[in-house]
A = this chain, B = another copy of it.
Amino acid sequence: MDSSAAPEHQNAAASVQRWLEQFRSCASQGQLATYIPALADNNPTDLGICLIGREGQTIRAGEWNTPFTLQSVSKVISFLVACITRGVPYVLDRVDVEPTGDPFNSIIRLETNKPGKPFNPMINAGAITVASMLPGDTVEEKVEHILHLLERFVGKRLAINEDVFESEWGTAHRNRSLAYYLKAIGYLEADVEVALEVYLKQCAIEVTAEDLAQIGLVLSCDGIHPWTHEQIIPVEVAKMTKALMLTCGMYNASGKFAAFVGLPAKSGVAGGILVTVPPRVADQDLPFLSGCGIGIYGPSIDECGNSVAGVKLLKHISREWKMSIF
């Protein structure tokens, strides 16, 4: 927090700091995502948050600077890349934008629905399809598109955590099953192993809560970077993606998150949550209500896959500061 900041900003920062410590202990209600071996070393009581407003006002608290892997948060980025490079109609021909109510790794609808078009790009099936349609023939080319877009968002080159990638690659049986099923029914463009490697590499990109806040801020501004004024993603893609995050972003607790937090968000099983706060009308005392991005890190996750403490903290902030878009 900038010591020269306005008093209302300093008050806001103090509140966030207090709330974060208040909810930190909720981590005990969840657990680390042990099915990915490399995530088992994380500290379950870590909790970090970063908020960045349109004028660059920033609040950081807790483990806001601890690196973690994107995991499912990367689904937002790869979807953005696909829409930008392939065009929205092309993408929507191959993946729908409907919520499902099913677990993220469910395979059932690929068989029960004819054709088995994945319901949305926020579940694994849809995300693997999206990975397959990224431009380029090789894993490196496809992943590079994701890293490049991320660099435009956060202003620096991000890296893949190779340990996490290797750990997931070796135990990705269920994702591999999804990928081969998609291939069988015609919803995978690339070679299966290429698509899967792209997907798992994007999951293993390392970020901090601050990085997520920065991405959320650009989405809040409909794809325009607020400082460079660069249009990083088209407005219609930004809006569609925020809608998708709201309806499908928090695994099969997306409905409750929309009801009780009311903000577009995407979580990952490493504990990250990317939140974007569209601008609101009232209470302009609070700088973050004219639009901001929020990043969360809290690696203890609930049975749906969402950070336990992170969701509670967001619920509290949204209610206190009336951030819901509804």
Contact = CB atoms under 8 A, between A and B. Distances in A.
Interface of A: 96-102, 106-112, 119-120, 173-174, 176-181, 183-184, 192, 238-240, 242-244, 246-248, 252-256, 258-260, 262, 264, 278-281, 290, 324-326
A181 B192 contact: no
Contacts of A240: 259-260
A111 B174 CA distance: 11
Contact of A255 (B238, B247, B280): B247
A132 to B, nearest CB: 13
A222 to B, nearest CB: 8
Contacts of A173: 180-181, 183-184, 192
A92 B263 CA distance: 20
Given A108-B108, A111-B107, A326-B243, A97 B256 contact: yes
B326 A255 contact: no
Nearest to A289: B281
19 contacts: A98-B101, A99-B99, A99-B101, A99-B255, A101-B109, A107-B108, A107-B110, A173-B181, A174-B180, A174-B184, A176-B176, A176-B177, A176-B192, A177-B178, A177-B179, A246-B246, A247-B247, A247-B254, A279-B281
A123 to B, nearest CB: 10
B120 A111 contact: no
Contacts of A106: 111
Given A177-B181, A247-B258, A264-B326, 4 more contacts: A101-B101, A239-B326, A244-B255, A244-B259
Contact of A100 (B99, B179, B259, B264): B99
Contacts of A100: 99-101
Nearest to A235: B322
Contact of A97 (B97, B119, B255): B255
Contacts of A278: 325-326
Nearest to A220: B326
Contact of A181 (B174, B239, B280): B174
Nearest to A242: B326
B259 A97 contact: yes
B326 A98 contact: no
A180 B177 contact: yes
A177 B111 CA distance: 12
